[in-house]
Structure 1
Amino acid sequence: MDIKEIISLDEVMEERKLGPNGALIYCMEHLKESLDDRLKEELDNFTDDDYIVFDCPGQIELFTYVPVFKNFVEQLKRKNINVYVVCLLDSQFMTDVAKFMSGCMASLSAMVQLELPHVNILSKMDLVRN
């Protein structure tokens, strides 16, 4: 299932005269409203032994300032689905203490907002230079 089948970020930006973050929040709110039946239909295709991965956009606003993902998580929990978070932090942030701390604090903020078990992973380790 792809959100782009339901709503287009580029179209929202153009039609609503919003920037990327505002348009993304608009899209997520729209998705929440149109998701109930479609998500139920999609989830009915899975068994209790299956793992489902939701690849979410990286804009931290969606996890910390607006309740979009919190509501989405609550919806999944009501369906008795165990939900866990894997947060990817770009490993290039390790070379700058301020960026690394900022990334860690953003991840912590998302963890507090979502109230879920949380694993942080440093990604793109192959790009880190000494």
Structure 2
Amino acid sequence: MNLDPGVENLPYSCDIDVRDFVDIVSIMQQYDLGPNGALVMAADLIASKIDEIQNEVNRVNPDYLIVDTPGQIELFAYRSSGRFLIDNITSEEKTNIFLFDGALITTPVNFVSIALLATSIRLRLNLPTVNVLC
């Protein structure tokens, strides 16, 4: 499931796409917002459509649901709407997979910085976390 309303092209095909529920361009035009403000508003609008999104998950009925969150992690992890989505997308077990971008891990300081961000996200989302270097 793609949960990033601002992505233009996905490098994968997804069964559930939040862009079917929230249109970032319409939000910018309707509320006279720039891209960042529209992404913030979209996060809350996505949460307001949780029932529709859950119905789509139920329709697809996947064995596993991998949710790709926005690359601007603060839009998801640090807003109450992100926690709301985690709590309300029905699943027996949930795990966070945090991707360490190998291009950023070029020095020990960068590695520690990303590791601290991953820890902050783990604490914020209150989910078991698997860190993956890619």
TM-score (structure 1 length as normaliser): 0.77
What is the SS of the residue equivalent to 2:127? coil
What is the SS of the residue equivalent to 2:36? helix
Deviations 1:13-71 (A, max 9, x none): 33323333332121121111122144135325426xx1111111111212442112211
What's the counterpart of residue 42 of structure 1?
A: 57
* Structure number, greater radius of gyration: 1
Q: Which structure has more helix as a fraction of its residues? A: 1
Matches within 5 A, 1:12-91: 12-46=27-61, 50-76=63-89, 79-91=90-102
| 1:102 aligns with one of 107, 113, 116 | 113
Give the number of aligned pairs. Answer: 119
What's the counterpart of residue 23 of structure 2?
A: 8
Deviations 1:71-106 (A, max 9, x none): 111113xx4521111111211111134433322222
Q: Which structure 2 segments of 5+ residues have no match?
A: 1-15
Query: Sequence identity of aligned pairs in percent?
Result: 29
Partner Cα separation in structure 2 for residue 95 and residue 83 of structure 1: 30
TM-score (structure 2 length as normaliser): 0.75
Two-structure CA RMSD over aligned residues (Å): 2.1
